[in-house]
């Protein structure tokens, strides 16, 4: 029998930073976020497990006034103020041509590129699933980097795609505001689903 490898686990402080103590920020301070901090978020995100290591997530960091002017018309009214105030807004996008990278990221099966090129339904099914996994990890990575993440659902996806991805190769999955919390950033903590309602032992 092979001996088990003992893995380290996050201490209580780490768990609070990433999970139990983390909150979705609804306001942001004007403290700037550096390029190095944003790269750190990506460096953690790219180690997310994905189907055959294909990594179909792409990110646009919108941070200057000109970029925000392009983005804000496509953000719902209820999300506009906090998106304008956030030092950075990340557009998480799905690369529809992720299969082109297969020979680089999964060199043991380079022929998979041709399979997914020929089957659009399979390509987008697998790609959207993996990009969704990476999107969740992106939020956790933002927290791990010492920043607040404010994912929002209220935006015009087609409008953002037309503005930022006019060639149609990428498409928006999620918009996430990033920065340091501002004044009164948190809503009251809402209940979580109890374990006895969410877990079945089989």
Cβ 178 vs Cβ 148: under 8 Å: yes
pLDDT digits (tens, 9 = 90+) for 72-87: 999 999 999 999 999 9
61 secondary structure, DSSP code: E
155 secondary structure, DSSP code: B
Total-model pTM: 0.95
CA distance 123 to 101: 13
Domain boundaries, the chain: 35-148+163-172
| CATH code of the region 35-148+163-172 | 3.40.109.10
pLDDT digits (tens, 9 = 90+) for 166-202: 999 999 999 999 999 999 999 999 999 999 999 999 9
Report the pLDDT value the prediction gives residue 132, as an integer from 0 to 100.
97
Among residues 94, 91, 32, 92, which one has the least CA distance to residue 64?
Answer: 32
pLDDT digits (tens, 9 = 90+) for 74-120: 999 999 999 999 999 999 999 999 999 999 999 999 999 999 999 99
């Amino acid at each position: 029998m092979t001996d088990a490898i003992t893995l380290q686990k996050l201490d209580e402080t780490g768990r609070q930073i990433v999970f139990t103590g983390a909150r979705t920020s609804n306001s942001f301070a004007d403290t700037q976020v550096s390029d190095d901090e944003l790269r750190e978020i990506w460096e953690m995100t790219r180690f997310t497990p994905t189907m055959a290591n294909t990594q179909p997530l792409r990110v646009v960091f919108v941070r200057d006034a000109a970029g925000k002017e392009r983005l804000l018309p496509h953000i719902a009214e209820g999300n506009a103020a906090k998106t304008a105030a956030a030092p950075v807004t990340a557009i998480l996008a799905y690369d529809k041509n992720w299969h082109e990278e297969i020979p680089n990221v999964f060199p043991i099966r380079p022929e998979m590129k041709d399979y997914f090129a020929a089957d659009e339904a399979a390509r987008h099914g697998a790609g959207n699933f993996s990009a969704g996994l990476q999107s969740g990890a992106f939020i956790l990575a933002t927290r791990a980097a010492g920043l607040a993440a404010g994912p929002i659902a209220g935006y015009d996806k087609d409008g953002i795609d037309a503005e930022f991805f006019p060639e149609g190769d990428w498409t928006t999955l999620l918009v996430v505001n990033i920065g340091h919390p501002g004044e009164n950033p948190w809503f009251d903590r809402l209940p979580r689903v109890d374990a006895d309602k969410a877990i079945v032992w089989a």
